Amino acid sequence: MQSPNTADTYVDSELVKRLPGFTSNYLMVNDVRLHYILGGQGKPLVLLPGWPQTWWSYHKIMPLLADRYQVIVVELRGMGSSDKPMAGYSKKEMAGDVAALLDKLGIERTSIAGHDIGAAVAFSFAAHYPQKTEKLVLLDTPHPDENLYKLPMLPTGAGVHPWWVAFNQVRNLPEQILEDRFHLLQDWLFDQLLEDKTAISAFDRQVYAQAYNSRDAIRASNGWYQTFAEDIQAIKGKKVDAPTLGIAGPAGYQMLSYALPPYIDQLDVKEVTGAGHFVQEERPVETVGFICDFLG
C-alpha cells in the first residue's frame, strides 16, 4: 500500500482527482509547454497563480466557480509542471503565452483573474490584449510600477518587510541556498502573510514545496522578479479598458486602492476581513461571491 507521504501523492495527476470534473492538460505555445487545469461549463474564466505556489492555490474555489464558468487554471512558464526556459519571464511575454494558449483552445475572449505574480500577468494580459479581455480580477497584488522603487531596504516596523523581492533579484545564489529546502522559505512566507495560519494546510505546503525544490524551479520563478524593471517600462502610459475588480485583505485593499486607479477607470476594490495575502485560500467563499457578483 502506497504511503500518503510519497512524492506521487503531490503530482498533478493525483491532485486533480481531488477535484471531480477537472482534467490536467498540456499545450505547446511559443515554444514552451504550458500545464493547465480545465473544468466547468459556461463563459471562460482564466485563473493565474502566483509565487511561491501552483495551480493548487485555487483548489478551494475552482469547484465553486465551475458551477458557473469554464475554469482554466494556467501554470505560467517557470511554474509547476510548465516548462522552465532560460528566458521569457516578463509579464508581457507571459501574457502572450496565455493569449496563445487561448487561441489554441479556440477561446476568443475571456475574463481573467490572477493572484500575486499571476495578478501582474493578468493585468498585463488586459492591458496588451484588450480585444481578448472581458473582465479583470486582481487578487491582492497590482502590476509592478515605479512604486516598487519606494520599497524600503530595511524594516520600517509597518507590516512585513518584503525582503524577498530583492533576494529574488539575485542570480544563481538562491537556488544554491534553497535547493531541496525551499519549504523553509515557503513556510516562513505563509506564516507571515497568512491571517488564518490554518488556511494553507501541511498537505498544501508539501505540494508547493515539491514544486519549487529544484534548481530549475527556483531559477525560473526568480525570473519573474528579475524582469520587474522591464515590466515597469512595459505599462507606462498603458490603460486597462476592461472593468476590473480588486479583492484583498485589509493590507492588500489599501495597496490596490492606491496603486490601481491611475491605470483603470472602471475599478471596484473589495476588502475581505480576516484575510492576509492568500485571500482565495483564507476566505474562499467570500472571494467566490465577489467574483461571481462581478462577472455575472
Distance (Å) of CA 164 to CA 30, 74, 168: 29, 24, 6
- Looking up residue 15, the CATH number of its domain turns out to be 3.40.50.1820
In a domain? residue 167: no
Q: Into how many domains does the chain fold?
A: 1
Q: How many CB atoms neighbour CB 233 within 10 A? A: 14
Q: How many CB atoms neighbour CB 18 within 10 A? A: 11
pTM as predicted: 0.96
In a domain? residue 168: no
How many CA atoms does the CB half-sphere of 217 hold within 13 Å?
22
In a domain? residue 179: no
In a domain? residue 55: yes
pLDDT for the residue 5: 54
In a domain? residue 89: yes
pLDDT for the residue 2: 40
pLDDT for the residue 215: 98
pLDDT for the residue 6: 62
Grid coordinates of 210: 515539491
Q: Which domain holds residue 127?
A: 7-149+228-295
In a domain? residue 208: no
Cis peptide before 52 (omega within 30 of 0): yes
Query: Grid coordinates 472593468 are at which residue?
Result: 243
* Distance in angstroms (rounded) separating the CA atoms of residues 206 and 110: 32
In a domain? residue 99: yes
In a domain? residue 255: yes
Strands 267-271 and 32-39 turn out to be unpaired
296 residues of the chain, pLDDT tens digit each: 344 456 689 999 999 999 999 999 999 999 999 999 999 999 999 999 999 999 999 999 999 999 999 999 999 999 999 999 999 999 999 999 999 999 999 999 999 999 999 999 999 999 999 999 999 999 999 999 999 999 888 898 878 899 999 999 999 999 999 999 999 999 999 999 999 999 999 999 999 999 999 999 999 999 999 999 999 999 999 999 999 999 999 999 999 999 999 999 999 999 999 999 999 999 999 999 999 999 99
